[in-house]
Structure 1
Amino acid sequence: MTFETQDLMPTDAGLTRAAAILRAGGLVAMPTETVYGLAGDARNGVAMARIFAAKARPTFNPLIAHVTGVEMAETLAIFDDRSRAVAAAFWPGALTLVLPLRADAGLSPLVTAGLETVAIRCPAHPVAQALLRAFGGPLAAPSANPSGRVSPTRADHVRQGLGGRIDAVLDGGPCAVGIESTILGLDGAPTLLRPGGVPVEALEAMLGPVGVGGDAHKPNAPGQLASHYAPEAGVRLGVTAPDEGEVWVGFGTDSKGAALSLSPGGDLVEAAAALFQTLRDADAMAGPGGRIAFAPVPETGLGRAINDRLRRAAAPRP
């Protein structure tokens, strides 16, 4: 089935139209500070099935429910003092919490992939917040791209990947963070389930040591599949001397001669914001059957999330 994908602007009229589409079970790509999300009514099973179909996403991979704040989140998940404190410190923002699902949450089982936990985020982007308020309920919103491919940080990226498969794109401009949210499991000991826009060091400063979890074969949060964020070209990592014909993507001042750079000055915030657009640009330069080589990126702060995405982009394709 194909759709005439509407282009909407974040005006009162555009937000009203987007909310009406969502209430009717439709899908609207919305901007967040991390990446564009493909939003649908998290309580509507048909809408959730449409998300999985539009993205060709495996249904065992759970979704993130987006909310206006803690009050709405507590209708979906069981919070305790610790999780409330973390939410107060990092919401709205690029942190997703995985918490025990409330029995009366009313979410489609597709959102949680049948698990007894739910992933919840309160986005900071003003357009996402405006749409959540206009809609009046939780929106499940995985990244608005075909499953496994490079995540979208601009409305044009969404149109390129999902045009004709979804009802509308709400254009809020480029995403500032440019990399998906950090996912923190708090249904037991604090566990990092996906590195992202909030560095784990910031979480550990509040919580103490944070373990690492996640299973590519049985995900309990998004972003855990071994192959993900993949361009068409092959990807090689940690490259200081590229092979002939490779598109070399540099980082910092040691990558002179690189065709592209995540950050010439070695700024991890700049690199995170540029990552997915750079992957797309390098893919276009490499062409069919080409290869992309990435210079080393430090495994600290946002570098952990950047390297996580790059490792998944370089993994063998299913």
Structure 2
Amino acid sequence: MVLSLIFSAARLSYAAGSLSRSFAMLALSCLWTTWSLVLFGGVNQHFLRLAAISILSLHTAASLMTSTFTKFWMFFSLTIEVNAVALIIKVFDSNTTYITLVTSLIVGITGLYGALSNILYETVGEDVLPQGTPIIQQRKPEEPYMPCPALPSRKTEAIYKAAEYLNEGHVIGAPTDTVYGLIASCKHPESISAIYHIKGRPPEKPICLCVSDIDQIKYANPPFSDLLWTFMHLCYPGGITCVVHKGDWLRRIGVGDAIDYVGTKDSVAIRVPDSTVLSYLLSISGPVALTSANPSGEVDSTHHDMVIDRLGHKVAAVVCDDESHEIVPSTVVNCTKIDEGTITFFRIGCVPQDVVEALFERAKAIKNSKSTDLKFNSISLNK
């Protein structure tokens, strides 16, 4: 049982990243095994002499490492070292009637003190039975400089913090279903203007509107045709951005005064990303202005490190989600003339043109099928 506890302690020490503590515990387990064989195993002691000396040397090396542990560890290691010397004496057939007993008692008392000290610390939260500071202090590695907070995407607390930055009018970097983007809340139009300065983006290039799901758009009740609604349902969520006509309906989804800051005078590009992280963030913060997180004219950011390195000193924070799902941005489709049976492309991105055109043909087929069903039902009713 004692051996299993020591091996468990060695494994936990290794898992915690302390190789020196793990080595010390392994040396102790070897020492304990040899001691057990001598006292209880009935093994010829002459065969254990070499092992005893080797184990003593191994534990001596482990004892030297305890100078970086607490003072209690050093004292405990010293008592075991004395106990190991007693083992050597016994192996060489010397009279050790009292040496082994005394050294064993010292080890037991010291170990009991250490166990009680740790139990009380975990219970009370203070060093009731102090163990002392290390004689040799290990130098802690310097943490890398971060120009802005890095918020882990897998923590809800971090997403709420990101939403807090947006609600305060800051610009942050965030993952999307394509490349990393810069986002600013529509509640603060001035933060959308800040995106242009952060990126060095030409003012004539519009910024798209990003919402968490298509139901947010439906809630605003825009004057979209059945064909446009059908096409958008096929495109969203995903790597397709639809450009539609502007209108007061944008105010009803929370765009507010930012209506003049997204899109152009007559149209606006709408993104509904297929990203759990970004959708959750937008469900908290509301609609945002979105553009790629890279200095204008440079390659897109496909990892949060790229955003931090290039724009970290200009943004409030970056939501970190490792590698992007795509290496190119979304495909931007002009849907302003969709009711005339035409769509065009502002940019071919992660979704190929033929895929988008196939979706458009499917949308027309669905609309025509509904129209046929409606006419058939109307004829049936007239009869």
Counterpart residue type for residue 111 of structure 1: V
Higher RCO (CA-CA < 8 Å; seq separation 6+)? 1
SS across alignment from 2:333: strand
Partners of 1:12 and 1:66 lie apart in 2 by 21
How far is the alpha carbon of 1:71 from its aligned partner? 2.0
Is the alpha carbon distance of 1:76 and 1:94 closer, same or farther for their aligned partners in structure 2, counting shifts above 3 Å? farther
> Contact 1:183–1:194 (CA<8 Å) still a contact in 2?
yes
Counterpart residue type for residue 151 of structure 2: L
Partners of 1:184 and 1:77 lie apart in 2 by 18
How far is the alpha carbon of 1:91 from its aligned partner? 1.1
Which of 266, 270, 294 aligns to 1:145? It is 294
Q: Hey, what does 1:102 align to over in structure 2? A: 247
How far is the alpha carbon of 1:178 from its aligned partner? 1.8
How far is the alpha carbon of 1:141 from its aligned partner? 1.3
Which of 58, 74, 95 aligns to 2:202? It is 58
In percent, how many aligned pairs have the same letter?
29
Q: Hey, what does 2:32 align to over in structure 1? A: none
Which of 276, 280, 290 aligns to 1:130? It is 280
How far is the alpha carbon of 1:60 from its aligned partner? 1.3
Q: From the two aligned structures, give the one with the greater strand fraction.
A: 1
Structure index of larger Rg: 2
How far is the alpha carbon of 1:44 from its aligned partner? 2.1
Q: Hey, what does 1:201 align to over in structure 2? A: 354
Counterpart residue type for residue 195 of structure 1: I
Which of 104, 108, 112 aligns to 2:263? It is 112
Counterpart residue type for residue 19 of structure 1: A
Is the alpha carbon distance of 1:77 and 1:63 closer, same or farther for their aligned partners in structure 2, counting shifts above 3 Å? farther
The C-alpha deviation readout for 1:280-314, integer Å capped at 9, x for no partner, is xxxxxxxxxxxxxxxxxxxxxxxxxxxxxxxxxxx
Which of 233, 237, 246 aligns to 1:92? It is 237
Counterpart residue type for residue 155 of structure 1: H
Q: Does 1:160 align with 2:303?
A: no
How far is the alpha carbon of 1:67 from its aligned partner? 0.8
Q: Does 1:8 align with 2:154?
A: no
Partners of 2:149 and 2:361 lie apart in 1 by 46
Partners of 2:247 and 2:309 lie apart in 1 by 37
Q: Hey, what does 2:368 align to over in structure 1? A: none
SS across alignment from 1:35: coil
Is the alpha carbon distance of 1:78 and 1:194 closer, same or farther for their aligned partners in structure 2, counting shifts above 3 Å? farther
How far is the alpha carbon of 1:73 from its aligned partner? 2.6
The C-alpha deviation readout for 1:178-208, integer Å capped at 9, x for no partner, is 2110011111131111101111111222324
How far is the alpha carbon of 1:94 from its aligned partner? 0.0
User: For residues 157-306 of structure 1, what are the structure 2 equivalents within 5 Å?
Assistant: 157-188=306-337, 189-208=342-361
Q: Hey, what does 2:193 align to over in structure 1? A: 49
Q: Hey, what does 2:61 align to over in structure 1? A: none
Partners of 1:200 and 1:57 lie apart in 2 by 26
Partners of 2:263 and 2:306 lie apart in 1 by 27
Counterpart residue type for residue 203 of structure 1: V
Counterpart residue type for residue 210 of structure 2: H
Q: Hey, what does 1:39 align to over in structure 2? A: 183
Which of 171, 196, 207 aligns to 1:27? It is 171
Counterpart residue type for residue 334 of structure 2: G
Partners of 1:34 and 1:76 lie apart in 2 by 28
TM-score after normalising by structure 2: 0.51
How far is the alpha carbon of 1:87 from its aligned partner? 1.7
Q: Hey, what does 2:65 align to over in structure 1? A: none
RMSD, matched Cα = 1.9
TM-score after normalising by structure 1: 0.61
> After the TM superposition, which segments of 4 or more aligned residues of structure 1 sit over 4 Å from their partners?
none
Name the count of aligned residue pairs. Answer: 205
> Contact 1:78–1:101 (CA<8 Å) still a contact in 2?
no
> Contact 1:73–1:120 (CA<8 Å) still a contact in 2?
no
Counterpart residue type for residue 63 of structure 1: I
Partners of 1:77 and 1:118 lie apart in 2 by 13
Partners of 1:76 and 1:25 lie apart in 2 by 27
Q: Does 1:70 align with 2:214?
A: yes
80-89 or 99-108, which moves further after superposition?
A: 99-108
Partners of 1:66 and 1:200 lie apart in 2 by 22
